Amino acid sequence: MLTTCKVRKILNLRLFEDENGRAWSRNVMDRELEVLCVSQFTLQCILKGNKPDFHSAMLAELAQPFYNNMLEQLREAYKAELIKDGQFGAKMQVLIQNDGPVTIQLESPAGPTDPKLLSKQEKQQQRKEKTRSKGPSESSREKAALRSKADPSASSGAEGDVSSEREP
């Protein structure tokens, strides 16, 4: 399941220094640190001009069980008392202190949750797979052969040739 991979990643990312000051050598479990999970499924948006569009956000009735399942897996894989969370769907003020010059963003593959969009995406994927399995058609092979006979210096780029150069 997708959340199992994310739980493993969250708990095993070596983000912290060890007792000798060596950076990137300890994870949350090594240091026995707390994990704060804040649900942001409903905040997934894209910008359309100056206005946010939330159509790609997971529906709350799907997101809440998904999020709760992730929390449950974190608590099973680590110390339950060290897994903290907020209230799903609530307006919260979270005060954090970032420590360090890096931000690490873990992303799950994006996918539409609307059945119409899912169907459209599946059809596009099927077309891509059909195209890959067919390979080049006879007509494209014939056209390439005719091109090379007409102009021996012409290249399709298939051999890594560069057919144009920029002038300074």
pLDDT attached to residue 110: 56
Q: With a cut of 90, say whether residue 143 has pLDDT above it.
A: no
Other CB atoms within 10 Å distance of the CB of residue 28: 21
First to last CA, the chain: 53
Q: Quote the CA–CA distance of 72 and 8 in Å, as a whole number.
A: 13
Q: Which helix (H) or strand (E) holds 36?
A: strand 35-37
Q: How many CA atoms lie within 13 A of 45 on its CB side?
A: 10
* Nearest by Cα to 38 from 78, 89, 97: 89
Residue 74 or residue 121, greater confidence: 74
Could you confirm whether 42 is annotated as catalytic? Answer: yes
Q: With a cut of 70, say whether residue 26 has pLDDT above it.
A: yes
Residue 123 or residue 40, greater confidence: 40
Q: Where are the domains of the chain?
A: 2-111, 114-154
Arithmetic mean of pLDDT, 65-88: 94
Q: Which of 42, 103, 113, 131 is catalytic?
A: 42
19 pLDDT band (50/70/90 cuts)? very high
CATH no. for 2-111: 3.50.80.10
pLDDT attached to residue 156: 40
* Nearest by Cα to 102 from 42, 48, 162, 24: 24
Q: Select the highest-mean-pLDDT range: 56-70, 72-86, 124-138, 153-167.
A: 72-86
47 pLDDT band (50/70/90 cuts)? confident
Answer whether 73's CB lies under 8 Å from 4's CB: yes
81 pLDDT band (50/70/90 cuts)? very high
